[in-house]
Amino acid sequence: MNKKQRLAVILLILAIILSVISIIIHVAVNQIEDSSGDNSGEENPVLQGTIQLTVQPSEGRPNDEG
């Protein structure tokens, strides 16, 4: 393999690496755009909370009441 052939191979490998990076960036950007689009498309967003207490029998009340 002479010098020019070696240079061509190096350039081709470099081109492949750059192309792969470019494809990865495009895919990532598309995913970000898709996910942000999904959020804005939610029609009925809700928040949920819980109101809780534990009630023990009061004085003079049998434990099995209720």
Partner 1 sequence: MMKDNLLVAVSLVVIVFSIGGLISSYGLVVEIVSPNVLTGHATSTGTINVTITENVLANLTSSNVNWGTGAITGENSNATIDTLGNISRGNWSALSSGLVIKNEGNVALVLDFQSNKNATNFIGGTSSSFKYMITNVDSGACTPPDGFVLGTFYETNTSTIQICDSFAPNESVRMDFELTIPSNSNLGILSSTITIGYNKVT
Quick check: 32 binds partner 1 (CB under 8 A)? yes
Does the footprint of partner 1 cover residue 65 (CB under 8 A)? yes
| CA–CA gap between residue 27 and residue 33 (Å, rounded) | 10
CA-CA distance, 37 to 63, in Å (whole number)? 55
If binding is defined by CB under 8 A, does position 5 make contact with partner 1? yes
- CA–CA distance, 14 with 12 (Å, rounded to integer): 5
Report the C-alpha gap between 32 and 25 in whole angstroms: 11
- At closest approach, how far in Å is the CB of 13 from partner 1? 10
Tell me which residues touch partner 1 (CB under 8 A): 2, 4-5, 7-9, 11-12, 14-16, 18-19, 21-22, 25-26, 29, 32-33, 36, 40, 42-61, 63, 65-66
